[in-house]
């Protein structure tokens, strides 16, 4: 029983607390007279300022460009209070409802609505900030188109020369046909040059023209630099320029009409009527200059289209893109050809270097062979001398004499190159012949002794031996060259 009572008391207390919380929330709840989505969007915008409503109000009156730059002013234009919204807020305040109950966005609308002609002031501030930005954007764009037009018509002489060469090549290829005597061609034909190839070859007609110009007319290659401004003109939208100029014209006229109708504020920060008249005057002057520039550029561009025989409705960005695409393709092929030539030069230089090294190697081999031949000849002469000396020594020894071989006085033996291989054999044959002769003499002497004529035979043998010995000695002593000595033995 006590537990039940305790639980009941807890529930009563919780209920009382919830009631007081609900009452507090109801008391603290903010009130808005705006659409929920609108309330949310404006609330997000206000958080970007991080300023009080009063500071924002003063910035509008003062044309404070540090706070209200172009981007913030554009957002402010989209987040100003509408007439029906201000009617609901004013009615809420008129009914005596507490202002501190209003949402921050309602309070912001209530604060800035105190500025006379708020929307006109903000629009004029936006014009003041927008015009210099647009002017700085449009004028350089028009000057880019103007410069590109001038280069293509008059300054790009090598460009025009290149077009003449292309026309001549086309007429040559089409000779004998209806297209073989053309006076001009459309610029859209430039892109087709790289699609035309010779039969059985991968070389395109454009590559052939590039190589031809590099060889015959190298000065024409500078056309890329002469018409360098064309690539910048391709980034200009002529249609956008016309639209922006028309919009500026409309803004100037509207601002000119609205400025006199803006009521002066009692606030000391209000500078509208001191700033806007001079701003508008300066804008008119610059706009007149911009408009004249546009007219001149437009006239020159139309004349350029006539000069090239192009359609008068061709927009500049398309016309200049055609030229730029061709230049890019030309430049690409030019670089490829230079790269190929560089490779060929390197290959040629490498071949020359290889040939040079081969020649040097061959010369070295020839030199080595000559040196080796001289060495072999030297060794041959030395061997010949040794063999000759040996043979003479043996021959002299067989004859019983110790006469030394005569020294060689000159290197020319007078024999054939194969004498070396014969010397040893000839010497041995001579020695054997002498030995046989001596044995025969001995046998004859013994035979005579048997026959009883020993004394006579002995005398004859002695005389013969003496004469033979004398002849050998004389031959050995009188011969100057070893090879000559061998030759005399051979003759015997």
Rounded CA gap, 64 and 69, in Å? Answer: 8
The pLDDT tens digits of the residues spanning 314-365 come to 999 999 999 999 999 999 999 999 999 889 889 988 899 888 888 888 888 8
Average of pLDDT values for 437-446? 82
Nearest to 255 by CA among 235, 278, 221, 231: 278
Question: Is the pLDDT reported for residue 246 higher than 80?
Answer: yes
Spell out a b/e string for 372-402, using b for 16 or more CB atoms within 10 Å of the CB, else e.
eeeeeeeeeeeebbebbbebbbebbeebeee
Whether 350 is covered by a domain: the verdict is: no
> What mean pLDDT value characterizes the chain?
80
Question: What letter does residue 204 receive in the DSSP assignment?
Answer: B
Quick one: 266 exposed, middle or buried, by C-beta within 10 A (0-12, 13-18, 19+)?
exposed
Query: What is the three-class DSSP state of 328?
Result: helix
CA 103 to chain centre: 63
Q: Are residue 2 and residue 44 in the same domain, yes or no?
A: no
Q: What percent of the chain has pLDDT over 70?
A: 76
pLDDT at position 452 is 66
Distances (CA, A) of 374 to 370, 383, 385: 6, 14, 16
Domain final residue pick, 114, 149, 179: 114
Rounded CA gap, 349 and 156, in Å? Answer: 38
The DSSP H or E segment spanning 44 is helix 36-49
Whether 426 is covered by a domain: the verdict is: yes
Q: Are residue 249 and residue 101 in the same domain, yes or no?
A: no
pLDDT at position 481 is 40
Question: Is the pLDDT reported for residue 22 higher than 70?
Answer: no
Rounded CA gap, 233 and 240, in Å? Answer: 13
Rounded CA gap, 4 and 319, in Å? Answer: 94
Domain final residue pick, 291, 317, 343: 317
Domain final residue pick, 300, 317, 334: 317
424: left (phi over 0), alpha (psi -120 to 50) or beta: alpha
Whether 342 is covered by a domain: the verdict is: no
Whether 178 is covered by a domain: the verdict is: yes
Give the CATH number of the domain where residue 39 resides: 1.20.58.630
Q: Are residue 182 and residue 263 in the same domain, yes or no?
A: yes
Query: What is the three-class DSSP state of 132?
Result: helix
Give the CATH number of the domain where residue 258 resides: 1.20.58.2220
Whether 198 is covered by a domain: the verdict is: yes
Q: Are residue 110 and residue 145 in the same domain, yes or no?
A: no
Question: Is the pLDDT reported for residue 406 higher than 80?
Answer: no
Nearest-10 Cα torsion for 428, 433, 436, 437 = -140
pLDDT at position 442 is 85
Q: Are residue 180 and residue 242 in the same domain, yes or no?
A: yes
Residue 16 pLDDT grade (very low, low, confident, very high; cuts 50, 70, 90): very low
pLDDT at position 429 is 65
pTM exceeds 0.85 for this model: no
Whether 292 is covered by a domain: the verdict is: yes
Outline where 308-406 has alpha helix (H).
316-398
The DSSP H or E segment spanning 86 is helix 83-94
Q: Are residue 8 and residue 54 in the same domain, yes or no?
A: no
Q: Are residue 21 and residue 40 in the same domain, yes or no?
A: no
Q: Are residue 161 and residue 309 in the same domain, yes or no?
A: yes
Q: Are residue 275 and residue 172 in the same domain, yes or no?
A: yes
Q: What percent of the chain has pLDDT over 90?
A: 49
Rounded CA gap, 142 and 245, in Å? Answer: 11
Whether 276 is covered by a domain: the verdict is: yes
Residue given tokens 């031959």 in the structure block: 475
Whether 322 is covered by a domain: the verdict is: no
Question: What letter does residue 151 receive in the DSSP assignment?
Answer: I
SS3 content of the chain, % helix, strand, coil (to 5): 80, 0, 20
Q: Are residue 277 and residue 399 in the same domain, yes or no?
A: no
The pLDDT tens digits of the residues spanning 104-159 come to 999 999 999 999 999 999 999 999 999 999 999 999 999 999 999 999 998 889 99
Question: How many independent structural domains does the chain possess?
Answer: 4
Nearest to 129 by CA among 179, 78, 74: 74
Q: What is the DSSP string of 106-126?
A: HHHHHHHTTSTTHHHHHHHHH
pLDDT at position 393 is 67
Residue 19 pLDDT grade (very low, low, confident, very high; cuts 50, 70, 90): very low
Q: Are residue 237 and residue 175 in the same domain, yes or no?
A: yes
Q: Are residue 89 and residue 156 in the same domain, yes or no?
A: no
Domain that holds residue 202: 136-317
């Amino acid at each position: 029983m006590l537990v039940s009572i305790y639980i009941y008391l807890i529930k009563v207390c919780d209920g009382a607390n919830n009631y007081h919380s609900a009452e507090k929330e109801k008391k603290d709840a903010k009130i808005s007279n705006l659409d929920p989505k609108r309330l949310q969007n404006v609330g997000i915008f206000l958080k970007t300022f991080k300023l009080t409503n009063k500071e924002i109000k003063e910035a509008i009156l003062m044309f404070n460009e540090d706070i209200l730059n172009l981007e913030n002013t554009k957002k402010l234009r989209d987040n100003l209070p509408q007439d029906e919204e201000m009617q609901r807020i004013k009615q809420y305040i008129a009914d005596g409802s507490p202002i501190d109950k209003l949402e921050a966005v309602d309070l912001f609308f209530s604060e800035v609505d105190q500025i006379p002609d708020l929307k006109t002031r903000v629009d004029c501030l936006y014009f003041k900030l927008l015009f210099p930005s647009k002017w700085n954007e449009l004028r350089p764009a028009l000057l880019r188109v103007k410069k590109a037009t001038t280069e293509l018509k008059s300054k790009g002489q090598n460009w025009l020369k290149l077009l003449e060469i292309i026309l001549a090549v086309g007429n040559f290829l089409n000779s004998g046909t209806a297209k073989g005597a053309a006076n001009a061609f459309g610029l859209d034909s430039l892109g087709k040059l790289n699609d035309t190839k010779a039969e059985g070859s991968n070389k395109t007609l454009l590559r052939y023209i590039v190589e031809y110009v590099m060889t015959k007319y190298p000065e024409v290659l500078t056309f890329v630099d002469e018409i360098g401004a064309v690539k910048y003109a391709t980034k200009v939208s002529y249609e956008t320029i016309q639209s922006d100029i028309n919009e500026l014209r409309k803004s100037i006229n509207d601002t000119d009409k609205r400025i006199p109708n803006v009521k002066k504020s009692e606030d000391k920060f209000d500078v509208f009527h001191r700033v806007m008249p001079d701003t508008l005057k300066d804008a008119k002057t610059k706009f007149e200059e911009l408009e004249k520039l546009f007219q001149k550029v437009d006239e020159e561009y139309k004349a350029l289209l006539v000069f090239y025989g192009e359609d008068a409705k061709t927009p500049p960005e398309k016309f200049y893109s055609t030229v730029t695409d061709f230049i890019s393709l030309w430049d690409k092929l030019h670089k490829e050809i230079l790269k190929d030539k560089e490779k060929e030069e390197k290959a040629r230089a490498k071949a020359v270097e290889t040939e040079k090294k081969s020649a040097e190697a061959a010369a070295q081999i020839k030199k080595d062979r000559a040196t080796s031949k001289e060495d072999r000849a030297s060794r041959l002469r030395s061997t010949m001398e040794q063999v000759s000396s040996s043979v003479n020594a043996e021959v002299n020894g067989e004859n019983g004499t110790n006469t030394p071989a005569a020294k060689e006085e000159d290197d020319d033996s007078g024999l054939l190159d194969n004498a070396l291989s014969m010397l040893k054999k000839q010497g041995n044959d001579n020695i054997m012949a002498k030995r046989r002769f001596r044995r025969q003499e001995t046998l004859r002497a013994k035979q005579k002794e048997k026959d009883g004529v020993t004394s006579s035979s002995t005398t004859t043998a002695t005389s013969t031996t003496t004469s033979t010995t004398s002849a050998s000695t004389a031959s050995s002593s009188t011969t100057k060259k070893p090879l000559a000595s061998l030759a005399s033995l051979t003759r015997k």
